[in-house]
Amino acid sequence: MGPPDRRALSTSTVTARPTPSKQEGRRTCATGSLTRPTVSYRKRLIQAHASEGQRVQKTLEDAGIKLDSVAADVLGVSGRAMLAALINGERDPGVLAELAKGRLRSKLPQLRQALRGRFGAHHALLIRLALAHLEQLEGSIAELDAHIDRVLAPFAQARDRLATITGVGKRAAECMVAEIGVDMAVFPRRAPGLVGGPLPGQQPHRRQAPLG
């Protein structure tokens, strides 16, 4: 028996493509409520939050404040307390350093040095607006998290299984479920002999089981 006809393989590959209804099903979660725009919007807000945090850091650098050299998270509880004090007019490095909480208090001498700078009124304005924007973004992200958790509840098991993959967290797993759903049967197998598919004579794979 000769090798399979490549043209026949090409034809079978074309006919195996998902129908428009299946393509549409992959664009939304099986619940019909958790859609791509929902998780995409949350992703954009998270990116905006990261950009705003970088803007805070650049403003501090411009003011000669090197808080990030001592505090792992400038926007943590201690960092925000110090930023609020700076906005309210406090400039004494000793007073600012005393606002540190937890393990950061073991670095008071380094904090006093890092908080020496030329923080001015324009820096205070920029930091105040940035913090207000950060709080607004955090509230919106939390609201979206709660909504997604509620809508995705029937598929929590599939999401949690995906989240065990190295490099895939809870939010990334939710994006995957929203994009492709949990039923892997909608994805056709490649024709035998094509790259990634079983070769002639090999044991064919069994039908893919749903994630959930």
In a domain, 208, yes or no: no
Residues 145 and 52 occupy one common structural domain: yes
In a domain, 91, yes or no: yes
Q: Would you say residue 51 has pLDDT above 70?
A: yes
Average predicted confidence (pLDDT) for the chain: 80
Residues 140 and 177 occupy one common structural domain: no
Q: Which amino acid is at 14?
A: V
Residues 127 and 166 occupy one common structural domain: no
What is the number of domains present in the chain? Answer: 2
Residues 168 and 77 occupy one common structural domain: no
Q: Which domain holds residue 175?
A: 154-185
Sequence-distant (6+) residues with CB within 8 A of 96 are 82, 85, 86, 90, 111, 112, 115
Residues 138 and 171 occupy one common structural domain: no
DSSP state for residue 68 in the 8-state scheme: G
Residues 160 and 141 occupy one common structural domain: no
Percent of the chain past pLDDT 70, that is, above it, reads 69
From 108, 135, 151, the end of a domain falls on 151
In a domain, 211, yes or no: no
Q: Which amino acid is at 63?
A: A
DSSP state for residue 28 in the 8-state scheme: B
Residues 48 and 123 occupy one common structural domain: yes
Q: Would you say residue 19 has pLDDT above 60?
A: no
Residues 178 and 126 occupy one common structural domain: no
In a domain, 212, yes or no: no
Task: Tell the residue number behind the tokens 């509230």, with chain if given.
Answer: 139
Spell out where 138-191 has E strands: none
What integer is the mean pLDDT of 188-192? 58
In a domain, 12, yes or no: no
Residues 123 and 175 occupy one common structural domain: no
Residues 86 and 68 occupy one common structural domain: yes
Q: Would you say residue 43 has pLDDT above 70?
A: yes
pLDDT higher at 194 or 185: 185
Q: Would you say residue 108 has pLDDT above 70?
A: yes
In a domain, 113, yes or no: yes
Residues 73 and 94 occupy one common structural domain: yes
pTM over 0.85: no
Residues 58 and 103 occupy one common structural domain: yes
Percent of the chain past pLDDT 90, that is, above it, reads 50
In a domain, 106, yes or no: yes
